[in-house]
Amino acid sequence: MIASANPTTHWAVLSQSVLFGQRLRRTKDGGREFMFAHYPLDLSKELGLQTLLKPLAMCPSKDDVLIVGGVGPGSPSTPPGTMSQSLWKSDKFFSTTASPTWVRNFTNISVITAVAFAAFDPSCDTYAFGTNSGQVWLTTTGGEKWCQIRPSPPSDQMRYTTGLIFSPDRSLYVTLVDKLSKAFGLVAKTEAAIPKCVVDDTLDLKWKELPLVARAADEREHVNTIAVHPLKPGTVFVGTNAGVWGSNDHGNTWMRHDYHGYGMPNVPVLDIKISPKTGQVVAFTYGRGAFLWQENGWCDGTPSAVVGTNFQSCGSQALIRSGLPVPVNDVVSAP
C-alpha cells in the first residue's frame, strides 16, 4: 500500500517467507528502514486454514486508516490466550512513531478473504469484507454497526469471496468462486446504491449475477482481484490466474485481454490499481512485473534498476498494437 499524501516515502508492505510466515511492515523513509507493524496479530495463522496473503486495504482519503483480516487475541469474553478470526483496524498507521496499534473491528467465525473501502466516503466509515463462506459484511459507521448484505449461500453451493470493490455510483461488486460447480469467474453487483447500515441487521439487497468472466470449469481463470475505473464507472477490470479480463458495460460482457491482441501475458494478475486523479490503470503480476493500460493494450515498459518499471517506453505492446512482428523473446512468454 502506498500513502497518497507521501507516496515516495510512506508504504505498507505485506510479505510472506518460509521461516517467518506473513509479516506486515511499514516504512516512512522510502524503504531504507522497515518496522514490523502487525502486533498483536498473527498473520501466519488462519485457524487451521492455509491461505495466501491476508486482505489489506488503506482508506483512499486517510493514509492512517487501514483494515486487515487476520487472527489475533480473542475478545474479552473469551478465555485468555484464545485466538479468533477478526477484522482489525488501525487509525494511526503512519502517524504514530511506535508500532501501529490494531483494534478488533469485527469478530467473525469465517476466514476473511477480501476487504475494501468506499472511496466516495471521505470519512473512511464505509467499508466491507467478504469471507470464505460467501458472506459479505458492510459498515457505514466505521465498524460500530454491521450489516450482512450477502447471506451465506446454501451448503451445497460452497462459494467464497475473492474480491470486493465499491463503484463511484455507490454500488458494490463482488467476485466469487463456486467450489462445487467449479465456476471460478463469478461476478455479482448490487442493483442499487449501498444504503446506510445504522443497526446490526441483514440488508435485503438485490444482486445481479453478471456473466461468467471465463470458462466455468477452468481453474486458471480464478479471479484474484477486481477494479472499477473511478472516472469511467462502466469500465471494469478483473485479474485472474491467467491474465486480465475487461468490460466496458458494467460487467455485462467481458473481453479477455490476451497476449496477441492486448499485450498481457498469460500470468497470474494479483492486483489492479487505478489512479483516482489520472485514471492510470496498472496491473501487478506474479513473476512478470507491472503492466500499464494504454488505450487498448497493456505496456510492460522497459525495466530500470533505478526506478523499476519505466512506463515511458511501451516495448512489446506497441509492436503488437501497430501490427509489427513481435520479437522472438516476447513470443516465448505468450500463452
> Which tens digits make up the pLDDT trace of 194-232?
999 999 988 888 888 887 775 545 666 688 899 999 998
Residues 100-121, mean pLDDT to the nearest whole number: 88
**Phi, psi for residue 328 in degrees, rounded to 5:** -60, -40
Distance of alpha carbon 245 from alpha carbon 226, whole angstroms: 10
Distance of alpha carbon 128 from alpha carbon 147, whole angstroms: 9
Type of residue found at 146? W
Q: Is the pLDDT of residue 313 over 90?
A: no
Strand (E) or helix (H) holding 20: none
Q: How many CB atoms lie within 10 A of CB 121?
A: 18
Q: Is the pLDDT of residue 166 over 90?
A: yes
The span from the first CA to the last CA of the chain, in angstroms, equals 30
Instruction: Name the grid cell of 264.
Output: 498481457
Per-residue model confidence (pLDDT) at position 326: 45
Distance of alpha carbon 298 from alpha carbon 291, whole angstroms: 6
Burial class (CB in 10 A: 0-12, 13-18, 19+), 13: middle
Per-residue model confidence (pLDDT) at position 114: 92
Our CA angle for 235, 127, 248, nearest 5°, is 5
Tell me what the pLDDT averaged over the chain comes to: 80
Instruction: Name the grid cell of 130.
Output: 467478504
Sequence length of the chain is 335
| Residues 176, 189 contacting (CB under 8 angstroms) | no
Distance of alpha carbon 269 from alpha carbon 151, whole angstroms: 28
- For the whole model, what pTM was predicted? 0.85
Distance of alpha carbon 235 from alpha carbon 237, whole angstroms: 7
Per-residue model confidence (pLDDT) at position 155: 52
Q: Is the pLDDT of residue 17 over 80?
A: no
Residues 248-252, mean pLDDT to the nearest whole number: 90
Residues 157-166, mean pLDDT to the nearest whole number: 84
Per-residue model confidence (pLDDT) at position 196: 93
**Phi, psi for residue 329 in degrees, rounded to 5:** -60, -30
Longest dimension (CA), the chain: 67
Identify which has the larger pLDDT, 238 or 82.
Answer: 238
Lowest mean per-residue pLDDT among 43-47, 48-52, 247-251, 320-324 = 48-52
Lowest mean per-residue pLDDT among 13-17, 76-80, 91-95, 233-237 = 76-80
Distance of alpha carbon 7 from alpha carbon 120, whole angstroms: 21
Distance of alpha carbon 37 from alpha carbon 51, whole angstroms: 20
Residue that is written with C-alpha cell 490499481 in the block: 273
Distance of alpha carbon 54 from alpha carbon 72, whole angstroms: 13
Identify which has the larger pLDDT, 309 or 19.
Answer: 19
Strand (E) or helix (H) holding 260: helix 259-262
| Residues 117, 124 contacting (CB under 8 angstroms) | yes
Domain boundaries, the chain: 1-109
